Structure 1
Amino acid sequence: MKIKTHTVNNTRIAEVIAENSIIESIEDGFQLVADIYYQDFDGIVLYEKNITPLFFNLKNGIAGEILQKFSNFRVRLAIIGDFEKYESKSIKDFIFESNKNLQINFVNSLEEGLRRLSN
């Protein structure tokens, strides 16, 4: 795993770059947000491919638990991916509602993620 630092509008954003999945469990998500928080970043960009597919099945509670930790630490998150492939109404609604408040963002590109995290 590699962290690339972006500074946009005086906001420090960590782009997490990895070949494999880095969040396979709730504990992995907690550890990532804590590590980034203590490195004084304001936001994190993650790629969908680096998160377990279970995250996108809202019934198991993984997404809620992980995203609550981001909120508790006040670290904003952008997840980059192609979310059109998810057919579940609940995940579509969750993504729509999350994107409204700018704390948790589901975006299609790095540029969009950086823009949303720096506003």
Structure 2
Amino acid sequence: MADVVRERVGVQVVECDPDGPPIETEQDALDIIGAVFLGARVAAVPAHRLGERFFTLSTRFAGEVMQKFVNYRMLLAVVGDISEHLAASSALRALVAESNEGDHVWFVPDLDALDERLRAGR
């Protein structure tokens, strides 16, 4: 499956291919932003495509990727189970909790949870 744009609860969402390449560089993140920029508002990225570097906050990669989405005023939804990463890092738990309170980056377990957040307007 390739990346697809779908309307989810009235919002255009780029659902990134679960079998797509890992997102390992800022350019990879910008490529997703480019796809979203063509008519969507949200990028739903499978968590496993982000890899260990994203979830190891000392690399600063998560901050770089998240900031790109903020700069372009787009929503990044990290979709999937990240419980192993959360169990290993209190800093990541804090980042996820803080992000989920905002409007630019959400961590959700699945697309149904994304729909609920979109429906609620946050």
Q: TM-score, normalised by structure 2?
A: 0.86
Aligned pair 1:12/2:12, yes or no? yes
Partner of 1:68: 67
Percent of aligned pairs with the same amino acid: 25
Partner of 2:79: 80
Structure-2 separation of matches of 1:110 and 1:98: 17
Unpaired runs of at least 5, structure 2: none
Deviation by residue 1:39-85 (Cα, 9 ceiling, x = unmatched) = 11010101011112100011111111111010111111111121221
**Contact 1:102/1:117, CA 8 A, preserved across alignment:** no
Following superposition, the deviation at residue 20 of structure 1 comes to: 4.3
Aligned ranges for residues 1-119 of structure 1 at < 5 Å?
Answer: 2-37=2-37, 39-86=38-85, 87-118=88-119, 119=121
Following superposition, the deviation at residue 110 of structure 1 comes to: 0.9
Unpaired runs of at least 5, structure 1: none
- What is the identity, as a one-letter code, of the residue corresponding to 2:10? N
RMSD: 1.7
Q: 1:116 to 1:63 in 2, by over 3 A?
A: same
Structure-2 separation of matches of 1:6 and 1:64: 27
Following superposition, the deviation at residue 29 of structure 1 comes to: 0.9
**Contact 1:16/1:46, CA 8 A, preserved across alignment:** yes
Aligned pair count? 118
- What is the identity, as a one-letter code, of the residue corresponding to 2:65? I
- What is the identity, as a one-letter code, of the residue corresponding to 1:45? A
| SS at 1:28 equivalent | helix
Q: 1:78 to 1:2 in 2, by over 3 A?
A: same
